């Protein structure tokens, strides 16, 4: 039972972080379908940081440095989307899709070549971080508390405040709803969109490192992040682009995802004799069903996906 709660919270936090990232990007007017790829790149950044930190580094430094690496690599990678979507007015769906393909592929190639350089017989794309991972975790009576959980909640609160209580948030959302209106009152739409995309990159990278440290101590980058970026988009849509709703939606999806990890621990579930694969499918099926019924896109930012052109009437 504790395990179910632990994994639910863990997965919910990951989904929420990434969905909040998507939320910032879309509120600025850029659809970020590349979250999956951003997660992978962020995860790679964090994983390599953990691997190359010298032994005996204090736990705090390990956590801080890993998070920072994931954030930065995620942001850097998301700049691809920003340049293509904001300056070259590229189709955002295509750019996002390309970023997803590139993300997993690039991470695999990078990690593989690093592995092969270190050991010519090692052709795997695996990074291990058994010791470093422990820095993230505090065991509280069987419940493995992860510092990233606290960070996720902090990000949730900050996101809400930034979007609804600050000048920046008001301007950001104006750019996603009616960029011409924003421009007419002297707001630099391009700048705000850059900000939105970079924030989504940072949060996506954070979600990525949290995902690969959840439960395992090594990661094979060929796996990517198993569709978590897309699940996060589902969470964002189900959460109607609002942080507080996104948090609740993330809990729901996180629960189903957690179930697939721990269903073996529940006798009555095991007795049902349902193939384990079905539990693995659950979050994805749920997202399909939920979105089919709720995704009237009425609450989506109106100008999202449309490149802003100063000259157009």
Q: Which residues bind other proteins (CB under 8 A)?
A: 165-168, 170-171, 173-174, 177-178, 180-187, 302, 312-313
Total count of residues recorded for the chain:
313
Provide, rounded to whole angstroms, the least separation between the CB of residue 126 and other proteins: 44
Task: Please say which residue, 176 or 283, places its beta carbon nearer to other proteins.
Answer: 176
Distance of alpha carbon 97 from alpha carbon 100, whole angstroms:
5
User: What's the closest the beta carbon of residue 171 comes to other proteins, in angstroms?
Assistant: 7
CB of 301 to other proteins, least distance (A): 9
State the DSSP code for 31.
-
Nearer to other proteins, 123 or 165 (CB): 165
Query: Measuring CA to CA, how many Å separate 306 from each of 258, 280, 311?
Result: 36, 36, 14
Q: How far is the CB of 307 from other proteins (least distance, A)?
A: 14
Structure tokens at 49: 């940081």
d(CA 2, CA 283): 20
Q: Give 207 or 301: the residue with its C-beta nearer to other proteins.
A: 301
Comparing CA positions, the residue from 234, 164, 165, 162 lying closest to residue 195 is: 162
The smaller minimum CB distance to other proteins, of residues 183 and 218, is found at 183
Kindly state the smallest distance separating residue 174's Cβ from other proteins, in Å.
5
- Cβ closer to other proteins: 131 or 183? 183
Helix (H) or strand (E) holding 276: helix 276-294
**DSSP 8-state symbol, 297:** G
Q: Minimum distance from CB of 246 to other proteins (Å)?
A: 17
Between 116 and 166, name the residue whose CB sits nearer to other proteins.
166
Give me the residues paired with residue 144 across strands: 139
Q: Which residues pair with 146 in a beta bridge?
A: 137
């Amino acid at each position: 039972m504790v395990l179910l709660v632990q994994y639910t919270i863990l997965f919910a936090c990951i989904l929420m972080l990434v969905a909040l990232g998507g939320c910032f990007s879309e509120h600025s007017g850029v659809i970020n379908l590349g979250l999956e790829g951003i997660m992978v790149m962020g995860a790679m950044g964090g994983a390599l940081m953990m691997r190359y930190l010298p032994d005996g580094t204090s736990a705090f430094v390990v956590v801080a440095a890993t998070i920072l690496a994931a954030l930065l690599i995620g942001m850097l990678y998301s700049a691809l989307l920003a340049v293509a979507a904001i300056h070259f007015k590229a189709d955002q769906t295509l750019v996002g899709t390309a970023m997803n393909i590139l993300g997993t592929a690039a991470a695999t190639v990078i990690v593989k070549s690093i592995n092969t350089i270190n050991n010519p017989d090692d052709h795997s794309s695996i990074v291990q971080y058994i010791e470093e991972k422990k820095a993230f975790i505090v065991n509280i009576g069987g419940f493995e508390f992860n510092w990233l959980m606290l960070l996720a909640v902090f990000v949730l609160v900050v996101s809400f405040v930034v979007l609804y209580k600050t000048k920046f948030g008001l301007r950001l959302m104006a750019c996603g709803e009616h960029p011409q209106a924003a421009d007419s009152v002297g707001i630099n739409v391009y700048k705000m969109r850059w900000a939105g995309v970079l924030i989504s990159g940072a949060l996506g990278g954070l979600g990525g490192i949290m995902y690969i440290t959840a439960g395992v101590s090594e990661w094979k980058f060929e796996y990517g992040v198993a569709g978590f970026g897309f699940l996060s988009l589902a969470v964002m849509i189900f959460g109607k682009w609002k942080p507080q709703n996104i948090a609740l939606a993330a809990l729901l999806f996180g629960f189903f995802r957690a179930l697939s990890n721990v269903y073996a621990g529940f006798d009555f579930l095991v007795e049902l004799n349902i193939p384990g694969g079905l539990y693995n499918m659950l979050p994805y099926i749920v997202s399909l069903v939920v979105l089919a019924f709720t995704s009237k896109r009425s609450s989506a930012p109106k100008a999202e996906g449309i490149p802003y052109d100063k000259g157009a009437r």
